[in-house]
Structure 1
Amino acid sequence: MTKTPVCVVGLGLIGGSVMRAAAAAGREVFGYNRSLDSVQAAQADGYDATDDIDAALTRAADSDALIVLAVPVPALPLMLGHVRDIAPGCPLTDVTSVKSTVLEEVRSFGLLDRFVGGHPMAGTAQSGWAAGDARMFVDAPWVISVDDHVRTDVWAEVMTLALDCGAFVVPARSDEHDAAAATISHLPHLLAEALAVTAGEVPLAFALAAGSFRDGTRVAATAPDLVRAMCEANAAQLLPVLERTLGLLNQARDALKANHPLSELVDAGHAARVRYESFDRPEIVAIAIGEPGWREELAAAGRAGGVIRSALPTLDSRGESPPRRR
């Protein structure tokens, strides 16, 4: 069975990796990037890329391709405007680290019917086409939104792409994704920046720095504009998490001032890390996409740690296979 072509809009670290991974899986894939240098680099590596967004989206419309938005949040309105004008009938997803903001942007452009949000939880501190890797997503979580509006056919398309790229799928509602991402992605970026700044003010620190400092500041090497974009776009969810963290650090500060042990924070942190190391991810196999309550069931399964490692069956509201879009 021929799989849907993929049009990747934005060929940086994640978009470029999606293009490579989809091509490695045998998918027809083409893409756009505004930087001619990146386009030429992609072409030199044998990939089908252009710096003409209208041409890329016209081709997507003609082939009914799955469009993957892989641009920073501030660039979304411009790209969504092009999609609305040229390829409004194409299935649409994204790989952005904030889901609720993207959802509202998509809604404002009248494209919600064809949209299913996505977020591969993978990456490095590097950026640009050259940083991409066809194996970036292998055995990595790829969140796919199960918000109330999502269509069965589009959700199935996005699921299949994620699985083709080697990831396992974590179904989640957009708001729940953003709350979780604030704790395990956006907060670590702020902590890494603060740690790097603090160490940089101590003359001997960099000379002594080893594994703890390297691991704790790795994401501080990420391009600052990308860090600002993701954290600022998720401010509503990030603020309470940051307040909670500051509260814990303030308690540790007060304990040190009073010459009291740090047991409360250190023991609780150690216990949480041990729970993470043993966290179970059971495979979701008993839910069919399109059956009554499927969105709620998938969200609940994802909330409990469930993941999708092989494609789930797809049914329409009558329990039949859905018709092709074309």
Structure 2
Amino acid sequence: MSGHSQTAVCVLGAGLIGGSVLRAAAAAGYDVWGYNRSEAGAEAARADDFDVTSAIEPVLRRAAETDALIVVGVPMPALDTILSDVKSFAPDCALTDVVSVKAPVAAAVRRHELGGRYVGGHPMAGTSESGWAASTPDLFQRAAWAVSVDPGTHAGAWERVARLALDCGSVVVPVLSEEHDRAVARISHLPHVFAEALAIQGGGGGPLALGLAAGSFRDGTRVAATAPDLVRAICDPNSAALLEVLEDALRVLEGARDTLRSGGTIGQLADAGHDARVDFDDNERWAITEIRPGDQDWLARLADAGRRGGVIESLD
């Protein structure tokens, strides 16, 4: 195991994503421990031999003593409380998060005066399950892990966050927070809205419709199985970007409705949707190899590379 893999990592929130970071980081050789608000969740993690407690102060004091990288894995509604604790007990540690929006988290971090060594993060991985029991060390294998390259980002902290993502099995996508939030509104948050709407329509057909439902209904409604509180915590903080893309999508649907109403065919929508899905299937990542944290204009250059589909597969 390479030397950088022995870095201390402190995870705050041991749910699906935070718990999976704990497991993956431990498997990669990191010295890792964590906090979970619910004692039942902390107890479940301890039963699996992970050092997780529901007492935040000692967890953060240990992080301060060891210069740990702190990973915030709580939902947006709990963020301010957690950041207040970080400010009190470990204000000088490098700090990242795995929350599904980036600009609102960055704003909260600045409010708590923790921006100096903060680097936003968002692993694009998950299931409709939640809690420690759903966590797994291989959740992030070949996943895209967005790592913010906002102006002023500290090169050393950025490299630690990127290395953690790589060591957890991901590829790193460098991205500006605002651009991240607009992108995930399209490919993550809007699908949640559509899944809920599809599930409601299926249910409206009663037992006959549900009895006939098969693969397309199951796949289209998969994320509607996510706990409603979690969906709210994911989508509501990104409401402006979600509203914009929802309006785009409604225009597409209204166009299809108007065509059908006038006796036309769904074919134009089907053609455009098929082409867009082929674009997704054919999309290929390319490796960013020439830009290093701390190089001249490294943040802007990484942002541009990420915008063009580039990913970081190694920092060595």
Q: Normalising TM by the smaller chain, what interval? A: over 0.9
Are 1:123 and 2:126 matched, yes or no? yes
Question: Which of 267, 270, 278 matches 1:266?
Answer: 270
Question: Which residue of structure 1 lines up, in the alignment, with residue 60 of structure 2?
Answer: 57
Are 1:72 and 2:75 matched, yes or no? yes
Question: Which residue of structure 1 lines up, in the alignment, with residue 150 of structure 2?
Answer: 147
Cα separation, 2, equivalents of 1:264 and 1:69: 44
Question: Which of 20, 23, 26 matches 2:26?
Answer: 23
1:107 Cα offset (Å)? 0.5
1:263 Cα offset (Å)? 2.4
Cα separation, 2, equivalents of 1:4 and 1:150: 20
1:191 Cα offset (Å)? 0.3
Question: Which residue of structure 2 lines up, in the alignment, with residue 89 of structure 1?
Answer: 92
Cα separation, 2, equivalents of 1:186 and 1:21: 26
Question: Which residue of structure 2 lines up, in the alignment, with residue 236 of structure 1?
Answer: 240
1:264 Cα offset (Å)? 2.2
Cα separation, 2, equivalents of 1:230 and 1:43: 27
Question: Which residue of structure 1 lines up, in the alignment, with residue 51 of structure 2?
Answer: 48
SS in 1 for 2:252: helix
2:305 counterpart letter in structure 1: A
1:49 Cα offset (Å)? 0.6
Cα separation, 1, equivalents of 2:93 and 2:292: 23
1:64 counterpart letter in structure 2: D
Normalising by structure 1, we get a TM-score of 0.95
1:60 counterpart letter in structure 2: A
Cα separation, 1, equivalents of 2:89 and 2:117: 14
1:92 Cα offset (Å)? 0.1
1:217 counterpart letter in structure 2: T
Question: Which residue of structure 1 lines up, in the alignment, with residue 111 of structure 2?
Answer: 108
1:149 Cα offset (Å)? 1.8
1:261 Cα offset (Å)? 1.6
Is the 8 Å Cα contact of residues 169 and 309 (structure 1) preserved in structure 2?
yes
Question: Which residue of structure 2 lines up, in the alignment, with residue 216 of structure 1?
Answer: 220
**Alignment length (residue pairs):** 312
* Deviation digits for residues 87-114 of structure 1 (CA, Å, limit 9, x no counterpart): 0000000000000000100010000001
* Deviation digits for residues 164-223 of structure 1 (CA, Å, limit 9, x no counterpart): 100000000000000000000000000000000111010211101111011000000111
Are 1:299 and 2:268 matched, yes or no? no
SS in 1 for 2:274: helix
Cα separation, 2, equivalents of 1:226 and 1:44: 25
Cα separation, 2, equivalents of 1:280 and 1:12: 31
Cα separation, 2, equivalents of 1:35 and 1:102: 22
Question: Which of 273, 277, 280 matches 2:281?
Answer: 277
Higher helix share: 2
1:68 counterpart letter in structure 2: V
Question: Which of 185, 193, 208 matches 1:190?
Answer: 193
Cα separation, 2, equivalents of 1:177 and 1:122: 15
SS in 2 for 1:142: strand
Question: Which of 282, 290, 294 matches 2:294?
Answer: 290
The percentage of counterpart residues that share the same residue type is: 55
Question: Which residue of structure 1 lines up, in the alignment, with residue 259 of structure 2?
Answer: 255
Is the 8 Å Cα contact of residues 112 and 149 (structure 1) preserved in structure 2?
no
The gaps in structure 1 that reach 5 residues or longer are 313-326
The gaps in structure 2 that reach 5 residues or longer are none
1:162-181 to structure 2, matched below 5 A, reads 162-181=165-184
Question: Which residue of structure 1 lines up, in the alignment, with residue 37 of structure 2?
Answer: 34
Cα separation, 2, equivalents of 1:25 and 1:138: 12
SS in 2 for 1:235: helix
Cα separation, 1, equivalents of 2:76 and 2:93: 20
1:280 Cα offset (Å)? 1.4
* Deviation digits for residues 225-274 of structure 1 (CA, Å, limit 9, x no counterpart): 11111211001111110000011001111111111122221111110110
Question: Which of 205, 217, 220 matches 1:202?
Answer: 205
1:266 counterpart letter in structure 2: A
1:231 counterpart letter in structure 2: C
Normalising by structure 2, we get a TM-score of 0.98
* Deviation digits for residues 92-137 of structure 1 (CA, Å, limit 9, x no counterpart): 0000000000010001000000100000000000000000000000
1:118 counterpart letter in structure 2: G
2:272 counterpart letter in structure 1: A
Is the 8 Å Cα contact of residues 169 and 307 (structure 1) preserved in structure 2?
yes
Question: Which residue of structure 1 lines up, in the alignment, with residue 140 of structure 2?
Answer: 137
